[in-house]
Every structure is written in C-alpha cells, then in structure tokens.
Structure 1
Amino acid sequence: MADRRHADPSRARWGRAGLILALLAASAASLHVLLEGASWWVATITVMFLVLLAASVTRTFARGRAWPTVAAALTLPATLALLFAPGTALLGIVPLGGTWTAWGDLLIAGEMSILRQGIPAQPVPGIVFILALAGGALAVLADLLVQTLRAPALAAIPALVLFAVPVVVAPSRSDAFWFLVAAAVYLVLLRPRGDGTGRRTALGAGAVVLTGAVVVPVLLPDVTSAPDPATGSGAQIGVNPILDLGDDLRRGTEVRAFSYETDAAEGLYFKLTTLDDFTGDRWEPIDARERPENTLDDIGDPAGLTPAVARDPVSTAVDIGPLIGRWLPAPYPPTSIEGLSGSWFWEPEALSVRTDTANVRGQDYTVESLSVRPTTEQLEQAPDAVQPGMLDMVALPEGMPEVIAATAREATGAATNDYQRALALQSYFRGGEFEYSEDAPVEEGYDGTGAEVIATFLDERAGYCVHFASAMAVMARTLDIPSRVAVGFQPGLPEFDDEGELEEFVVTTHDLHAWPELFFEGVGWVRFEPTPGRGELPEYEAATADDPATPDIDESQPSAAPTPSPSLSAPQRPDEAPVTGVADSAVDLRPLGIGAAIAAGVIALLLVPAILRLVVRLRRRRSVRDGAPDAALAAWAEVTDTVIDTGGQAPSTETPRVFAARIGERWVDRGWTDDEPSTGAADRTAARAALDRLVDAVERASFAAGGTARVDFADVERVRRGLRSALDRRGRLAATFAPRSLLRRWNP
C-alpha cells in the first residue's frame, strides 16, 4: 500500500491541473457571445493546455518550487511562436527578433480589429493571438496560485478576468450557463480530497466542461439577427482607418454607419483620417499625438489653399449610428464642429478630428466645411517643384520594386505638368485593364498596402480601393508629386420623402472607401478616384478625365444622368461585396482545418512518451533474442522499468532476489493470494514463475563463472502482464502513455 500512497500527491497535482484547465476553458467559452466559430477557443485552450502541461511535468520531477512556474512562463512564448509565427522563430519555438515584430503586428491588428468589427466578430489572427496570449498568461497565473502557492480559492481571479470581458463589452449578451459550469468546477477545486472520490469528480467535471465547451456553442442560436441597413439596429460596427479595409468591405451584412443632411448641391465624401507616412510595409500617420489645444470651434486652414481658389461654405448635420472608433467622419476641409460630447481635437496636417477618451458612436453634430472649387487652369499651373514643407510627402523607403516607378513613368509619358500626370495615373487604373475585386488579393496572397503588395497588384490588375489608392499614391511619389491616402466613406445613397423631396443621405458599411490625395501648391490637397466602378469624380476632374474610349466605365455617369443633381443619382456599389459567401467559408472551413491540425499535434505530442518506451522495450527484446552477452541484464532492466511504470520503485541498492520478494509482497497487498482466486490469478502464477527464472538468470550472469545465462524474453512479457493486471484502467493507461521509467535518465 506504500506505493499507492506515494503516488497520491503526484496524482492529486495532476488532478488539480486538469481542474484548472477545465475552469479556464469554461471561462473562455463565455466569450462565444462575442466571437464567431470555435477556432479561437481551440487555439486558446491549446496554449493553456501546453502551459499547464509543462508546469505539471516539471513539478513532478523538479525539486525547487519555482521551476514549474519558470517552465510554464517559457512554454508560453514557445507555443505562441509555434502557432502564430513559426517561420520567424528558431526551430519554430524559440522567439527571435522577427518573432517579436510579428507578435507586435498581430497585437496592433487585433486591437484595431476589435474596434472595427461588430458582434459577433470574426476571429481574425490578431484577435486569436490576443486571446491565446491572455489565456496562456492566465494559465501561468492560475498554476502559480493553485499549485505553487497552494491557494486554490484564488483561481477565481483568472477565471473572472475572462468572464469580465463579455460583461463589459456586451452585458445583455452574457451567457450565465458557462458561469454556472465554471462555478461547479471551482467548487470541486476547493473540495478537500481525502480519497479517490475527489479525483473521480474532478475528472468527470473536466470531461463535461471540455466536451460541453466544444458542443454547446455550436448548438446555441446566433446571438444577433440581421440588422436593418436603414436603422442600424442589432449591431455595432467599428472602423479602423489605419489597417486594410478588406475585412470591412467583405462584411457579409450591410449596416448603417450614419446619416446626414446637407445644404451642399450633392452628396459628400466623409474623411476619417489620412495616412501620410509610407514605410514600405504599410501606410501610417506621421503624427498621431493628442492635441487638446486644437478645439473644434475654429479648425485651422487647409494646407496649401490660397484665396484665389473659389470655395463655398457647407453646413452638414450628422447622426452617427452604431459606428465605433476614435475618428470622426467629417467633410474635408472642416472649419468648425458643434454638438459633440466628450473631448475631441483636430490634427493639423490632415484636419482629421479625433478623440483619445470618447467614442464616435451615437454622436449627433453639425459640421461647417468648405466646398473647394479649383479650376483646371489653376491645377495645371501649380508649380511642379516639391515645396520644402512637402518633402515628407514624397519620401519613399529604399529598395522599392522598380516596377512601380517604371509603370508610373510609362502611364504618364505624354503629360507636361503634375496635374496631367495625376489624371494620367487615374485613367491608367480606370481605363478598363484593372478590375475591382475584394477576393482576388486574399486568394492570391497580396492583400495589404506594402511595396511588394503594390508590385504584385500592378501585375495581377485586380484589387479593391486600398490597392488602387495605395498604388496611385506611391506612383505619384515616384514622380515627385506629394501624396497621401485618405480613409473614410463615399457619399452614400439619398433617401426621399413621400413627395419626392431629398430627405437625407444614408451611409453604410459598404460605403467604406480609401482614395489618394495629391498636393498642388495654391490649391492644397485634391481628391482623386483611381478605383474603377467606385466613387465619384469631382467636377474639375470629370471633363478632363472622362475618356470616350472607355464607355464601360462609370466615371461619366454623374454629368450624363437625367436627374436634377449628381447627388440624386445612386452611386454604384460593387457587386463583389455579397451578403453571404466569403464569411461562410471563413467561419465554417478554416476553424475545422485549424482545429484538426492542433488536435493532431496534441495527440502526436501525447504519444511521444509511449513511442519512446516501446522503442526501448523492442531494443531490449532484440538483444535477448540475439543472445547478446548482456541479454540477462537487458531483460532485468525491462522488468525494473515495468515496475516503475506501474507505480512501483526499483532502488539500485536492492539485489534482484530482494527486489523480486518485494514485488511478490506487493501482489499480495493487492489481493493476489493463493487461497483467494482472482481474475488475474493465471497471470499472477505465470508472472511469479517467470520472475523467479529471471532472478536466477540475472544472478548467474552477474556472479557465475563466464557471466552468461540463457534467458527468454517471454518471461519478461509474463512479468509485465502480471504487473499490469494489478492496475485499474487508469493505471494501465498511465503506464502506457506516461511511463515514469523514461525519466530515470534525467532524475536518477
């Protein structure tokens, strides 16, 4: 009975580790009200499992109390590297400089995607990485509290951190079911264990939680219904102007972002912000500092605009729907804004309006802005030379693909001034050789705004507004024309009252857009529209840019439409933004593949000890079969290892005969008596006889003259069967898949 009592502390620790995993898994499952699918949950509990496994294995064999926490903390970055950035890490698990860069990009992408998406959100890699990182860190904390500090009551802290997320983000959608499940597991974790009942309860509760966390979210109904684009009910939409708009444009459901009424003659473009620093990998804002002194009652003058250029004042009342974010939609250039709640300020270069403490959602405000009307002559006569203050706006990193500059020179060969070159670039993209596609960049792997992406886009000739805007802006810089990328919304669609009078414009998520702005001295920043089939061409461009050789392009429609005003003609929205299709494949297929791959990896990892132990046993059997000089010693080594695997001890100080006698006593302790037949009686009889023969053989090999003895490996198998017959099912599984004898090499 001593062996069994000796094993109890270790088994209790493993049981507590299982309960910690079950508690955290149930807590993480509560996030299903915020996220689609199950891939994020599989990735999160995989990281938790490996972290807790590392801590438990180390705790079993290490003497110091700190080593399990160290092992868990080191396993976390190794697992994150393996799952999210294996190509940047040494051997796929040791983080290097590129790994930290990749993690930083994922954190930024995840944070911005959280701001951009509605509920339930798609589990993009950035969001999954954040969850996996948080889950792994909470697993390290929970193991430290429960196992090392022996304070299981404190396990509620990491669990409540996970439960707090849906409560804070969407309290009306919180799921009490998973809270009750986690509470049940928590009570089991607190329960004193004086016998095997606690372990059996823990294993049962863990199995129920892990199974339910996979099955129940699939069976639960969707947490939202399809919203009405006119009202925007039932969803929140977040917009991140810095990252690609591909996910937003591919959003399955069209949701109202805001509506506006204006005294302008036509619908207005609403800018969120501009990206003016091209790093080679992406477009970024040059300066994003908070400027509380820039109050909205008097916004600064737009850069480069002189009194010689005509302009008209425009007043616009805006009603924001379920849009979330820190940038305020406003026509460019704004002169003042009234009615906002919270602290807002304007950025001097872009005149974008931003907040670091409030939110755009639900805002109702009035924007005073200017409708700038330069003439074609003013644009063509603008100086070609780059002004000193515009050097940053023509800067490009080293190592740019040559195809970008070469294509720009080819497209603008006949132009004689910067404005004509800009129109030539615009016509190059709208001339019919390029097509609008939201799927092609994803399918072909060139989604984004970097230099290499642009080079591929120019070759593939298919993309969406981000590609067209980024390509034209970079190509303009190769021609020394200052440029930047603007992100915001197209004018939206007009809505009329019962008498046919224009009532308001409604802007939805399908109106999200990016476009290039080029700078002309004396006029300022001028909007261009290179994306075919999207947007509207300003009047000062339409007459010059319209190419009769391309009648299939929609750029001439506003002036030709038989309506009182261009604003009353419905702008084209791309057919490439289907309500269903892309989202279905992203949700239903990829998680299955990711989950299957992770499951296969975990299973393979769990099988490694069993495979190594099998190799050792087969090597010893071959040594015995071939009659090697050390055959008896090899057979005896297999016997002692089998005893260790089945929960016993094999001290090196014991002689084989004393060892065999102790094993016989162990069998008697477990009910193996001659006068009380048992199910394993036959195995017991054969095992004891075989053990006696093996003792005789190893003594002859060790002490007899010549040092050799004949041995049959079948006797080893008989002893092995006898030892395993004394175990219950769980013990046999542990002996097979977690053989303790393998650790004798590292823990003598």
Structure 2
Amino acid sequence: MLGVIPTPATVASVPGLLDAAAEEIRVGVAPVVPGFGLSFLLVAAVGALAVVLDHVVLTARMPLLAAVGLVAVSLIPTIAIPSDVDVVAFVLLAVAVLFLLRVDTRARSLIEPSARPPRSTRRVGASATALGVAAVAVIVAVVATPLLPQPGLRFATGGSGGAGTTINPNLELGNDLRQPREVEVLTVRTTGPTPPYLRAVTLSSFDGSVWQPDSSDTVPVRDDAPVFDPLVVDDGIAVDDWTTDIDIDQLDSPWLPLPYPASTVTGLQGDWLGLPQNRTVVSRAGSTRDQVYQVQSTVPRPSLEQIRARSVGGANLGDAVLALPAEVPAIIGDTAREVTAGTQDPYDALIALQTWFRSSAFRYSLDAPVEAGFDGAGLDAVADFLQVRSGYCVHYASAFAVMARTLGMPSRIVVGYLPGTATGPQTQGQMTFTVSSSQLHAWPEVYFDGIGWVPFEPTNSLGVPTSFTPSSPNGASSAPSTPQQDAATPNSQPSTAPTQGGALDVGEQNGVGTGAASGAGASWIPATLGGVLLVLLAAAPAVLRSVRRRGRLRAARAGDPIAAWTAMREDAVDLGIPAPGAESPRAFAARLSHEHGADTDDVDTLREALERVSYAEDAIDPSTGARLAAAVESVRERLTAGAPVARRIVARLLPRSLFVRSGEATAASEPVGR
C-alpha cells in the first residue's frame, strides 16, 4: 500500500522472488544487472547485515568486529570484478570504519573515566590528531595507490575469458563481453579500403546444443613459404590482394586473429600450425601475446549478378556444415521459410534473413538472454531468441546459421573481432585501427560455389551488413560491400539503436503510438503523488518525534516526574548532548546547567521530583504537573538557544532520540561537528 506498506500479498511473493534471485545468481556472470528478485535479495541482505551490525556494536559492544564485517562485504565484489577503484565507495567505507574505531575508543574511555584527560584537551588534541591521521590515510590511499605499478592482465590460454583478453571458442562470449574492464587487444594496419573482420576460430559441427571448433590436418607456418594455397574462384570474378599488419598487445589466445582469406603469414614467434580447411592458425603451446606479424590475403570481389548466379554448397565441404539434429523446434524452420518467401536465389534469401535480423523487430542486448534464461547457442536458445528477439552476436549468428541450414544452405559460425577504430591518417598506403576487448564478435558464413565462404552480419546495430553491388555499365565488377567496417566509422561498439536509419517502431508504423500523446496531460498525477509521498516520508521522523514528546508532556502535566525527566533527556539527545546511562541524574543535571546553559532552577525541579519518586516512593502528585511541564519546556528553550543552527535543524528533521535511547552507548557519544 502506498508503495511502502507490506500486505499479505507482499509476504506471499517472497518465495518467488528468492527463486528468481537464485536463478539469476546461477546463470549470471559478474557484473550482473539485477532483476527484481536479485534486487530484493540484495536489499534484504543489507537490511539483515544492518541489524547484525547494530547488535554487534550496541549489544555486544564490539565495534571493531562490525568494522571487519563491513570490510569483508566490500572486498567480495572488489575481488570478483576487476575494475578501477570506486573512490566514492572507498571513502564511504573508510569513514564507516573510522567511525566504528571512534565508537570503540569512546566506549573504552567510558569504562575507565579516570583515565580520560580533561574534556577540552580531549576534544582539541586527540580528536584533531585522529581526524588528521584519518584524512591523510584516506587521501594517500585514494591518490597514491593508483600511481603504483599495476600488474598486467594475464590469463591462461584457452581460459574462459576474464576481461575479454582471450578468445572463447565455445560461444560463451557473453561472459567476456559483460566484463566491466575494456582493454586494447591489438592494432591493425591494412592496405585494403576497409578494415577487415579478424577471424580466429571457425565452428562447423553442431549437435543441437554446442557448436564445436573445427579440427583437421595441419601444416607448419613458415616465413619462407605460403601457409595456404591461394583461394580458387570462378573465372571472371575479380580478386584483390591485401596486406594486413597486426600487432597484438593484451590478447592471450592459442588462436591467431587473421583476415580472410589469408594465404601467407610471416613474422610469428614460436611454433604455429595452419588449418587449410578453414584458413585459421593455431598454436599448440604458445600464445598470441606480443606477436607482430603480417598477413597476405587474396579477397574475391564478385558483383551482385555473379553471386546471385552461384549456387550454395560444394562437393568438398562434408556433411558437418549441413547437419542438424532430428528434432528442430518448428519456430526455426517456419520463421526461415516465412522470412525468405518470395526470394529467387540463395543470396537474396540470405539477404532477407540479414535484413530481418537487423530491423527494428530485434534489439541488441547483453542482458536479455540472461534475464530470459536462454544465454546459449543451442536450438532451445535459438527458439527462445526468435521469440524474445533480443540478444547479442552469439544469438544472431547461431540463429542465422541454423535457419540457413533448415533452408539447405551450408553454414558455419566464426569467432573473432569486429573491425577496429581508426586511430590516425593513412600512412604508406595503410590505415591503422585499434581493436578492443569489447569488439569480440561472432558472425555466420555461407559457402557459395565458385566464390567460397561469404560472411554475413545479422547482429542488430553492429558492423556493416553484407551486400554486393551490380556490375558497372562497362561490364567491370564494382566493389562489393561485405561485413567490413567503413574506415570513416568511429567505432564498432554495440548500440541498442538499430542501424536502419529512420525506421519506425512497429506500433508507430501502425499509428498506435499516438496514444502516448493523449495520455501526456495526465502524466503530472503520478509525479505529484510521488512528490507528496516523498514529502510525507521526509516529514515522518519529525512528526513521530512530536507525537512522542506530546505524550511525555501530557504525562508530565499529570504529575509524572519520570516522564518529565525522560522528555528533558530526549531533548538533550536530539541536540547532540551526551546522555550516558552511567551518569547519575545529579551529574547530568549539573552538566546541563554548567556546560549547556540550562536554567539551574528548572533542572533542579525535574531532578528533585525524579529523586523523590525513585527513592522516597512518593506517589504521583497531579498538583506538580504544570510546574514539571513548564520546566521541561524552559530547559528545551535554553538548550536549543545554545546549540548551533545546523544542530537545531537536524534535531527537528531527524531527531536522534528516535534511533537511540538516552542512556545507550550511542547516546553517550557526541556527534561529529558538535
């Protein structure tokens, strides 16, 4: 009710929320974007932690143990998610730990009052020194620590990713892409008109659940001979020779990033093997880190008419690139046939699929597959993706490849990197591009007879979609557009915006979107209600304190000395005046008069009435009520007049007596700045 008051339905929803949180924890990869269930669990856990720390500090009187708990909780995400230091979070943690240290020190000094120095000396000397040391420690930790040498990121080759500095061949790229730290993995210089996609692993075998990396006979990579034979294409198809220089920095992988189709690789250090079947290079024991090498590529450039005239498939491909399990979810094949209906040739059918995936019907998201529980590349994940229509490159590539196979087209998936970001002008005929860890990518390929493997880019909002241009009027083939990033494009980072410029949402195309404008006039209602609720919540402490104080004064007017004395002590606590339980009423009354300006007669009136009812067992005398209430009001006025303006405001808006009772350890601690 009203957004804050729980009802029986609230309690009944808790088991479902905990189940949802457990599922998010099971399938999520840090940092996980919390859904409603995980958010509930986190808030409940922090609330429970607050209760435990309150018990440890106040009841068990072990503030240092509470500090250890705070540090332990903060270290878990710091260790689990490698990232830059969150300065604000660190400072808040440091302040909390220092505060608990102060609580512990004051608690010990209350136990041994004879050991305490005079109040003025303690405030000016010890407090100033402690604050100075604390400030210097925090500043040094925040400023100096980032300046120290940081260890380089290194991961075992073939590992699961960690910050995206390796290549995962098992299509678990989401684990790498969701890492918070982006690093530069390599730089590319090319003589080609556009920066190339860099392939590392091809996956052709699919059992319905997992795409397996290709394996075949290998040949040694040597500088003195081409590692692969030149690509053979049909007569009449133009080819271009490109030279690509690659300098790898923070990439530890046994799979070497290469432009396709590579023929010669020179400059590698260590033992490397080439797989002629898919023109990839792998090391059985080495790593790509710090490798500097050059690749020669012979790139086919067919015209639109030439690729439309080619059939898909080839005699030497094998069965793996067409194989599908016996049971394929109906939505996959049905959707493929529906999208490609009316196309005249395989190329047009594949372009129809590519255009459909890149339309506004789909959305790029790293989180949706985790939230919806289909973060994978199997048939079930593809079927769910086609329904949810939100995911990242793995889902687009796997769906495209499987749908192509349902249409009888040989397909496979490639794992590598998107084209990088241009970092400077062209020098010596080469453009330079930088590739980062977030540009790890997967895309599908389909084999065309007489041309070879042709890449497609179905991932919504990433890269450039494949297309080929018609021949020029003189019969020469014009340059095709394949999945290459235009050199003028600033980057290839994922974006939630579709690349189809000016495309409207389906609802807008049908005129449905006009309903939003008609309801805009009523949009002030929830905002106003929310503002009123916030005001009420902000005023709640002051209102509750006023109600409690009125009750105390009502009892005091009825002649209750204990209620009058309690009201005076709570007024003192609100204003930040220490009210320790170990202090006698006479000592507390004297301190209010001598140190805080309270009228001696009024304080003595309340003290004497309290002593009579406590020690002489006098009955409550209603005739003294008016005098007791007047004394409480007079003491409050004098204490308030002697308090700083900031303390008066806090006492009104956030009275301390609501949270600590006079006599507790916290009530004995004078607030910072008093």
TM-score where L is the length of structure 2: 0.48
TM-score where L is the length of structure 1: 0.43
